[in-house]
Amino acid sequence: MLEIENFSARYGQVSALQQVALRVEAGEAVCLLGSNGAGKSTLIRSVMGIGPDIGGQLRFENKDLLALRVEDRIRNGIAVVFEGRGILQSMTVHENLLMGGFCRGKQEVEHAVEEAMSTFPILKSRQNQLAGTLSGGEQQMLAIARALIARPKLIMLDEPSMGLAPIVVETVFEAIAEINKRGVAILLVEQNMHMALSVSNRFYVLNCGSIVLEGKVGDGVFVSGDGRALSEEELESAYMGEKS
């Protein structure tokens, strides 16, 4: 579904991504792990079309994304929940949800808003409350719900666990797993390696702008791209940037 090949990105003289290859198939949940400054957000922004200078290939359902404007990428089924959530604090929960449907018809949006509120009941009971008064966890739920209003085939989430208490992180990840179960593909960017792996079918580890490891997850077992069983220590050291 999403195919990224030989992809690079730079901010002026600073190279943020080098020759990245990553794919997400329809219905899959894939996580992209990496520590601060690894280039995770840059990759997500590039897929959305708001990144820095880029090179390489980006395709979604065999369409060249680089030829599409941001709104057309959204219309084609890509949604994103940015780092920091991007909630409009002085608008109500309901108004925030409606914003997510700007590229869809009115009836479709109303239906999607109802559905989002049934997935996140807390949002229903607070629909007329100003979004800025929600707790951090509730705001994260709202950001995810808002992304769903556009009826995406792929949703990219940039560090949804950031700044949340462990118990709230669990609720957010349960919601992510539920969304994936309904058939929406997930590209999850995280520093919280264990939580991310718990909801993913496959993973990539990004270090200083390069993919240093990739593999599959099955029943808590991690297998590298070349079929080798990986220990958690190996995963951690790839993530931390030590040679494994």
Ligand X SMILES: Nc1ncnc2c1ncn2[C@@H]1O[C@H](COP(=O)(O)OP(=O)(O)OP(=O)(O)O)[C@@H](O)[C@H]1O
Interface contacts to ligand X, rule CB under 6 A: 11, 14, 16, 34, 36-42, 83, 191
Please choose which of ligand X, Mg ion, none residue 36 contacts, taking the beta carbon within 5 to 8 angstroms, the exact cut-off set by kind: ligand X
Nearer to Mg ion among residue 3 and residue 83 (C-beta) = 83
Alpha-carbon gap, residue 4 to 60, rounded angstroms:
9
Nearer to Mg ion, 32 or 93 (CB): 32
Residue 37 partner contact from ligand X, Mg ion, none using kind-dependent CB cut-offs of 5 to 8 Å: ligand X
Which one, 46 or 139, has the nearer CB to ligand X?
46
Q: How far is the CB of 33 from ligand X (least distance, A)?
A: 10
Structural contact between residues 20 and 210, judged by C-beta atoms closer than 8 angstroms: yes
CB of 207 to ligand X, least distance (A): 10
| Burial (0-12, 13-18, 19+ Cβ within 10 Å), 124 | middle
Cβ–Cβ < 8 Å for 56, 8: yes
Cα dihedral angle (100, 144, 136, 82), rounded to 10 degrees?
A: -80
- Sites of contact with Mg ion (CB under 5 A): 40-41, 83
- Shortest Cβ 118–ligand X spacing (Å): 32
- The kind and range of the H/E element at 125 are helix 121-125
Q: How far is the CB of 208 from ligand X (least distance, A)?
A: 8
The SS3 call for residue 211 is strand
In terms of CB distance, is 76 or 191 closer to ligand X? 191
